[in-house]
Each structure stands twice: as C-alpha cells, then as structure tokens.
Structure 1
Amino acid sequence: MRFGIAIFPTDYAIGMAELAQAVEARGFDSLWVAEHTHIPVSRQTPYPSGGDLPQEYWHTLDPFVALTVAAGATTTLKLGTGVCLVVEHEPIDLAKRVASLDHVSGGRLLFGVGGGWNREEMANHGTEFSQRWGVLRERVEAMKTIWTEDEAEYHGRHVNFDPLWLWPKPVQKPHPPIWLGGNGPNTLKRVVRYADGWMPNRGRWLDRIAELQRLADEAGRGPIPVQVYGARTDPQEVERFLAAGLQRCVFYVPPDGRDAALRRLEELTEFVKPYSG
C-alpha cells in the first residue's frame, strides 16, 4: 500500500514547492490538494462534518496552479486533485487544464473528481444540486473524448459540442487515472461506469469493496483499485486497509502555516514506517 499527503493549499499555508519537496523526500508517493472555488456567504448548506465551516474552504488556491508549482519542484511525486469539483468547471477548459498539467509534470497527475456538497457554491456555477451527478458524468465523458480523439465531439443533455481540436493530449494514456470520491448509494455504479478508481473519505465503505468488484466483473472490467482519502493515524484501521488490498492511504496535513504542516508531516512519516516497503 502506498501513502500520500493531502492539504487545503491556502494562501496562509506552507508553500506548495516546499511541501512537495518535503513529501517526496520522505517517501510519500503523492500530494493531493482540495478544491473550492469560493464559499457563498449565505452558508445555507450545512458543513457535512458538522459545526462551523473551517476558513480554509474559502482560502484555497486554484488546484491546478498549486499542483503546477508542486510539479516544478519535484521529479517523481504524483500530483492529485482531492477532489476537483467538475460540476463547477466548463469541460473544454477543464480538459485543457488537466492535459496541460499532465504534460508539464511528465505524466504524474491523478485526477480525483467529485460531485460536491455545497448547493449554493455549485449553483453559482450554473449547476443545480439534483443534476450534479448527470453533469459530472457527461463532463467526464466529454473530457475523455477530448483527451483521446484528434477530432472530438460530444452530444449529451448537459454537454454539447461539435468536432474540435485540442492539444496537448495527456502524457498518460489513455488519460490520467480518474478517481471518483464519495460513498453514496450509487457511487459504486458511477465508479464502474466512468472512473478508474474509487476514493471514499467517510462512512462505512470497507465492506462495499466486494460489491464494487462484483459490479466491475459484471461490467466486464478487471478489479478496480480503491484508496482512502483523509485517513486517521489509527494502526488498527491501517491494518484493515492493508488486509483489504487498498492501493493508497492519504493523510491530511494542516493548512495553518509552514511549521504546523512540517510537524504533522514528520509525525506521519514515523507513523507509516512500519507499513512501508
């Protein structure tokens, strides 16, 4: 099992270049960044974890800018979006940004995607909450077409364009791996339909891995990798992840300045030593 680090890349957090170099030097395989384009002041949608919404949610850098900085400071570290809120992006533009980052990083992007939870946030981008999963699927399908075809076109309910040219194509073929976040009733069907891996971050999900692999087999797919995002430093939990055959376990470091992030990174480095290689 591999181990990764995640952060809300805020304007007051450790610099992405320094963090990326520190993560790579300590043997972690990947660095992941959260995304929120903004947070509506109304705050009508409750925070899923309960209580007040932490301020890092409206202080995050653009994930592709943050990961481009990380790419330039490292050589082997994989670079992940955790998660990109696809329903808040125009798909042709997003396809260009994903392919460009995969190009400049030499094929190191891991494209984590999700439907989002903040109704007002996505509404400001023109996506109605009840339609978000249909929007996400079509945008992902459309981007796959752009990445893999010289003359790409897509005609759906939410995305519609005639043949177009768009380069660069991603370095990774056919495209960067798509990791779908979430753990809702229909998440596994969505993973099987248009994603390359499943990335749950809360709730009871370990006992759903068998169902995921059954659905994959019924769809004529091979085993689908699973990784956990935002894991706890609980040895028993990590042992369960190992037994379940997870591909990766991702831990957060705090977004509250350089010292806090590096201190937590050192703690995590020591924690994963018994489970690494």
Structure 2
Amino acid sequence: MQLGVSLEPPRWPAGAGGTVLQTAVRAEQLRFDYLLMSDHVLASEGGATLDPLVVLSAVAGATGRIRLATSILALPYRHPLIVAQQAASLDVISGGRFALGVGTGWNPEEFAALGLEPRHRGARTDEALTVLRALWSGEPVHHRGRFTTLDGVRPATTPRAKGGPEVWIGGQSDAALRRALRFGDGWHGGVSTAAQVHEARGRLAALGEEVGRDAGELKLSSVCFLVPPGFEPEVPLPGAPLGGPGASRAQLLDALGELGAAGLSMVSLWMPFGALRLVEAMEWVAAELLEPLRPVKVIEG
C-alpha cells in the first residue's frame, strides 16, 4: 500500500509559494508516494487556500518522482473542456504522474457564488465525465447534452497517454459508487478502518453487477486523518482519526496494515497542522510509519 500526504495544512500563510514547493520537495525526499490537494473557491479564515491544479503544476516542475492527485476537484464548478485541457497539460508536464480525483462538490455557498444549482451537481458531474473521456480520445467531439454542447471540438493539449490521466471518483453514496464504476479508474473515499473498506467493497461489487462492471478493476484509495503521537492538532479533525484517538505508533502501523490488507492501494494522510509543523509531522510519518511499511527487497546471490 502506498502513502500520500495532503499538501494542504489548515491554510497556507500569505506569500507561501516557496514554502509550498519546499514542502512538496521534502515529501518526495521522504519517499512519500503521492501529494494531494483539495478544491475550494471561496475564502475562509486562516490564510490562503490555493488552487489545486495551479499548485500541482508548480509541484510537477519541482519534483521528479512523487505522484500528484486532486483530492477532490469539484467537477461541476468548471466547464469540462477547461478541465480536459488543464488535466491533459498537467499529465504532460508531470510525465504521467497526475491522477484527476473528482467529485460533485458539496458547499452550497460555492455553488451559489458560481451561479450553479446544487441539485444539478450529480447530473453535471456525470455529463462532464462523459465529455472528458471523449475529449481525451483524440477524436473531434460532438456532444449535445443538458449542460454542455460541443461541435467537432478537440482540446488544445493531447494527454500523454491515450484516454487521459487516471480518474478517481470520490464520494460515499451509492450514486458516487455507481459513478466510479461507470467512469473511474479508481474510487477515492473517506474510510479509515478495515471494516469500512470491506463494506465499501461489498457495495461496489453489488453495484458493479447492476452497471455491468467488475468492481475488482477499480483502484481503491482513501483520505485518513492523522495526528502523530506527541503532536497537538492546530485545528479540529474533520473526522475520526486513523487508529482511534491518541493512537500510538504501533496502533497506527496496525491500522495502516489492516487497510492495505482490506484492499486499499493508497492512503492519503491529512494532518491538522500549519505549514512548518506539517513538515515535522511528515518527517515523523516517514521515519515511524512509511519505512516499516516498505517491503524488504531480498537480493539473491
């Protein structure tokens, strides 16, 4: 199982450009597998919330190995032609290291600010995913849908691989799981225990029979909230912590091992710290959790 880290402390301080890239480079040095960023378009207290596609593009240029993903891009906020162009560009710039994690969005204030109806978010997302796949095919796209009309359109940038970057679908509802089966290369959830992973896999298997897709084809990943031992959260956790409240190193290792055994291929760690403390927490995770989870290579002869 791979480990990622959310490149998103509670908020970045003003003028944090250099700090963001330094944090990303340090994550690569520490041998994390993924850097991930979520998506917000309205201001909130505490500092800057940076655009994920802009930041990950800069990170792609500053790093050479670590993989990048949105976790999660609110797809209804953007025209699918723009997303197709941005994602293909990031796929090219990163050398194929980018995965587009998408969801329907949830914040009614953001929908209102963008002039969008929240009740249309599922339909918009489904149509946008259909259009994205068509735009990445390399063929001119003719599409007349409820929200998007294209007449022989071909995006300016062709993705590195035919079919485009990997697409992960976020969400816990049956509609989200169906969407992952219909459109996704992976499902990106919010589960933090082996029991929750097994429950999600069971639902995916049942829904896969309904939509005609083998659920075993999907990569499964999740966001987990982590407070390393000896660290004090700077903001409240949005959900239950990995390993339970006050989990020890041994309990965290057990929890991650159980998640991997249950079927997760990647866990993205969201840690409730500001920029400087985030690096310290990453260093603890790398030394105490990441290294013990790496398989030992046996060289014969």
TM over 0.5: yes
Moved more, 200-209 or 243-252: 200-209
Unaligned runs of 5+ in 1: 40-53
Tell me the distance in 2 between the aligned counterparts of 1:59 and 1:183: 28
Q: Which residue of 1 aligns with 2:229?
A: none
Q: Secondary structure at the match of 1:186?
A: helix
- Give deviations 1:20-71, integer Å, cap 9, x for gaps: 21111111111001110115xxxxxxxxxxxxxx736x72111111001110
Q: Write the mapping of 1:95-174 to structure 2, written as runs, cut at 5 A.
A: 95-174=84-163
1:227 is aligned with what amino acid? S
Tell me the distance in 2 between the aligned counterparts of 1:163 and 1:255: 47
Q: Write the mapping of 1:244-263 to structure 2, written as runs, cut at 5 A.
A: 244-254=262-272, 256-257=274-275, 259-263=276-280
Cα displacement (A) at 1:276: 2.1
Q: Which residue of 2 aligns with 1:242?
A: 260
Residue 212 of structure 2 corresponds to residue 208 of structure 1: no
Of 45, 56, 69, which residue of structure 2 is paired with 1:55?
A: 45
Q: Which residue of 1 aligns with 2:75?
A: 86
| Mapped contact 2:37–2:72 kept (Cα < 8 A) | yes
TM-score by length of 2: 0.80
- Taking structure 1 as reference, are residues 255 and 211 closer, same or farther at Cα in structure 2, changes over 3 Å only? same
Tell me the distance in 2 between the aligned counterparts of 1:196 and 1:231: 24
- Taking structure 1 as reference, are residues 252 and 201 closer, same or farther at Cα in structure 2, changes over 3 Å only? same
Of 176, 180, 183, which residue of structure 2 is paired with 1:194?
A: 183
2:6 is aligned with what amino acid? A
Larger gyration radius, structure 1 or structure 2 = 2
Of 223, 228, 231, which residue of structure 1 is paired with 2:222?
A: 228
Residue 295 of structure 2 corresponds to residue 265 of structure 1: no
Q: Secondary structure at the match of 1:230?
A: strand
Paired-residue identity, %: 28
- Taking structure 1 as reference, are residues 231 and 153 closer, same or farther at Cα in structure 2, changes over 3 Å only? farther
Q: Secondary structure at the match of 1:59?
A: coil
Q: Which residue of 2 aligns with 1:48?
A: none
Tell me the distance in 2 between the aligned counterparts of 1:205 and 1:127: 33
Tell me the distance in 2 between the aligned counterparts of 1:138 and 1:161: 12
Moved more, 234-243 or 171-180: 234-243
Q: Which residue of 1 aligns with 2:33?
A: 29
Residue 37 of structure 2 corresponds to residue 19 of structure 1: no
- Give deviations 1:177-229, integer Å, cap 9, x for gaps: 11111112322111111111111115874212123134335614452111011
| Mapped contact 1:31–1:77 kept (Cα < 8 A) | yes
Tell me the distance in 1 between the aligned counterparts of 2:209 and 2:220: 15
Cα displacement (A) at 1:104: 1.0
Q: Aligned pair count?
A: 261
| Mapped contact 1:225–1:246 kept (Cα < 8 A) | yes
Tell me the distance in 1 between the aligned counterparts of 2:258 and 2:65: 28
Tell me the distance in 2 between the aligned counterparts of 1:205 and 1:128: 31
Tell me the distance in 1 between the aligned counterparts of 2:85 and 2:36: 20
1:244 is aligned with what amino acid? A
Tell me the distance in 2 between the aligned counterparts of 1:106 and 1:262: 26
- Taking structure 1 as reference, are residues 114 and 263 closer, same or farther at Cα in structure 2, changes over 3 Å only? same
2:169 is aligned with what amino acid? L
Q: Which residue of 2 aligns with 1:51?
A: none
Tell me the distance in 1 between the aligned counterparts of 2:85 and 2:223: 26
Output the aligned Cα RMSD. 2.1
Tell me the distance in 2 between the aligned counterparts of 1:8 and 1:211: 30
Unaligned runs of 5+ in 2: 227-241, 244-251, 296-301
Cα displacement (A) at 1:17: 1.7
